[in-house]
Amino acid sequence: MHDPVPASIAARSVRHVWHPCTQMKRHADSPPLEITRAEGVWLYDAQGRPIVDAISSWWVNLFGHNQPRIKAAIAAQMDRVEHVMLAGLTHAPVVELSERLAARTGLDHAHYASDGASATEIALKMSAHYWRNVGRPEKNRFIGLAGGYHGETVGALAVTDVALFRASYAPLVRIGATVPVPDVRAQPADVDEAEWVEQAAATLERHLQRHAGETAALIVEPLVQCAAGFVCYPAAYLARARALCTRYDVHLVADEIAVGMGRTGTLLACEQAGVKPDFVCLSKGLSGGYLPLSVVLTTDAVYGAFYDDDVARGFLHSHSYTGSALACAAALATLDLLDDARLRDNAALALRLDALFAPLHAHPRLRHARRRGLIWAWDVVDAPSDFSTRFAAEALQRGALLRPIGATLYCMPPYVIDEDAAVRLRDAALGALDAVAKW
Ligand SMILES: *Cc1c(COP(=O)(O)O)cnc(C)c1O
């Protein structure tokens, strides 16, 4: 009699873990990869094989894995208090984080949650509730940009214009209005950037002329719509959207969940348009990729409309882990790392990587090369329908975690990637492109 061979972690995972954003049948013949250790930009599988984390573990990791300062901050906080409810109680990390975010953004009031989608929910609810509190309850609809992605809870799906994520739940969702985005790839040759922005802004204005009376807010992903396939649009559009929202008395919500925390070269992407939104949502990189944390920052004007003797005029939304002390400690350490001149370093790093990525920019199967800060994207010419999964598997075999979105290949590395790792990811991408082309 032999003891049965113990099942691998990967096999056990498929048996009991329902993986996110995954058709589980795909794992019938290719199980998920077990990661046993991570250090800097490198992940290590059970055999100790290094894999460069070219997408910052779904865009959350800013300063690498096993980051000493973030770890030390969490450990120190663990010895004081790990978590207490934030209703009626408070603690230093959440206060300090709120003060620092206020100083950096000019938005003085911070409401916390755990994930990006919850931040979207909070911003939408707060906006509509604001209008109710000021005597305009009919302003309760939302506008999003074409291809927008703001999370996948039922409320956030109202403004998430990605059919694959929304179609199955459409009957549950109060779908918002969608206006065009001035995607730089679609700009006709005989139309200059200013005119291209103006065309999109004019459509937004026509919508507002008709519907501002029932609209609470416009929600946008500033500069780059990552989940839509890294759609980039000019900063000037944000400035136009801000002006129109102000003119038509509609809130502007900046969903900086993916692009905030320095990813596009400034702490917030909307700084590049000189724009101050009514709400800013942050998550993903906020805690450096360590713990779930999100925040919605807003203005004195919004806050003031809730400040009252009447409990029901308050914003009663809560989550059990709102303002987790451990997550806030991680976020404070992350802000410290960003403050250490990292944003300036990032600009130099981006240029060095741009040079290393020249073979990708020039690749005959890639077009529309684009970069904003430390986000690169390329569109694959004539990509087969299963390009994304095949490419990801080929890249993984070559030591790079790269997961194209549809026919868009992108890379969004931690801010500490060095040239060796960048070369690994470039060569893995080139090899995977060849392999997929040959199939
Ligand atoms: C990831 C993302 C979200 C949702 O965040 P989760 O933490 O996954 O819920 C919302 N908006 C944008 C722009 C995102 O990239």
Same domain, residue pair 372 and 392: yes
Kindly state the DSSP code that residue 3 receives in the 8-state scheme. Answer: P
Task: Look at ligand 1, atom 5, and give the residue with the nearest C-alpha.
Answer: 116
Structure-token pair, residue 28: 């019938």
Ligand 1: centre distance to CA 115 (Å): 7
Bridge pairing between strands 215-220 and 177-179: unpaired
Q: Are residues 46 and 102 in the same domain?
A: no
225 & 188 share domain: yes
Whether 371 and 253 share a structural domain: no
Instruction: Pick the last residue of a domain from 317, 337, 357.
Output: 337
Is residue 93 located within the same domain as residue 52? no
Q: Is the Cβ atom of 115 under 6 angstroms away from ligand 1?
A: yes
Q: Name the residue range of residue 118's domain.
A: 70-337
Based on the fold, state whether residues 329 and 353 are members of the same structural domain: no
The verdict on the CB of residue 226 being under 6 Å from ligand 1 is yes
Query: Does the reported pTM lie above 0.75?
Result: yes
Q: Answer whether residue 8 is part of any domain.
A: no
Q: How far does the centroid of ligand 1 lie from the alpha carbon of residue 306, in Å?
A: 26
Residue 28 falls within a domain, yes or no? Answer: no
Same domain, residue pair 383 and 360: yes
Does 2 reside within a domain? no
User: Is the CB of 256 inside a 6 Å radius of any atom of ligand 1?
Assistant: no
Which atom of ligand 1 lies closest to the CA of 227? Answer: 15
CATH number, domain of 39, equals: 3.90.1150.10
Residues with Cβ within 8 Å of residue 323, at least 6 apart in sequence: 86, 91, 94, 112
Q: Last residue of some domain: 284, 311, 337?
A: 337
Q: Is 114 in the pocket of ligand 1 (CB under 6 A)?
A: no
**Domain total in the chain:** 2
Backbone angles phi, psi at 263, to 5 degrees: -60, -35
Residue 223 and residue 291 in one domain: yes
Q: Which residues contact 421 (CB under 8 A, 6 or more apart)?
A: 40, 41, 42, 52, 413
Same domain, 252 and 370: no
Shared-domain flag, residues 374 and 431: yes
Of all protein residues, whose CA lies closest to atom 6 belonging to ligand 1?
116
Last residue of a domain, one of 337, 356, 371: 337
Q: Is the CB of 151 under 6 A from ligand 1?
A: yes
pLDDT in tens, the chain (439 residues): 566 778 899 999 999 999 999 999 999 988 999 999 999 999 999 999 999 999 999 999 999 999 999 999 999 999 999 999 999 999 999 999 999 999 999 999 999 999 999 999 999 999 999 999 999 999 999 999 999 999 999 999 999 999 999 999 999 999 999 999 999 999 999 999 999 999 999 999 999 999 999 999 999 999 999 999 999 999 999 999 999 999 999 999 999 999 999 999 999 999 999 999 999 999 999 999 999 999 999 999 999 999 999 999 999 999 999 999 999 999 999 999 999 877 778 899 999 999 999 999 999 999 999 999 999 999 999 999 999 999 999 999 999 999 999 999 999 999 999 999 999 999 999 999 999 986 5
Q: Is residue 18 a part of any domain in this protein?
A: no
Cα 150 to ligand 1 centre (Å) = 6
Choose one of 114, 233, 284 to mutate for the ligand 1 pocket test, by most ligand atoms within 8 angstroms of C-beta.
284
Length of the chain: 439
Is 419 contained in some domain?
yes
Q: Is the CB of 257 under 6 A from ligand 1?
A: yes
Whether residue 10 contacts residue 33, with contact meaning beta carbons closer than 8 Å, is answered with yes
The reply to whether 17 falls in a domain is no
Residues 297, 214 share a domain: yes
Question: Does residue 346 belong to any structural domain of this protein?
Answer: yes
Determine the Cα–Cα distance for residues 372 and 393; give it in Å rounded to an integer: 26
Q: Let me know if residue 10 belongs to a domain.
A: no
- Which amino acid, 125? K
Q: What is the CATH number of the domain that holds 268?
A: 3.40.640.10
Give the nearest ligand 1 atom to 255 CA. 13
Q: Are residues 95 and 112 in the same domain?
A: yes
**Is the CB of residue 258 below 6 angstroms from any atom belonging to ligand 1?**
yes
Measure CA 146 to chain center: 16
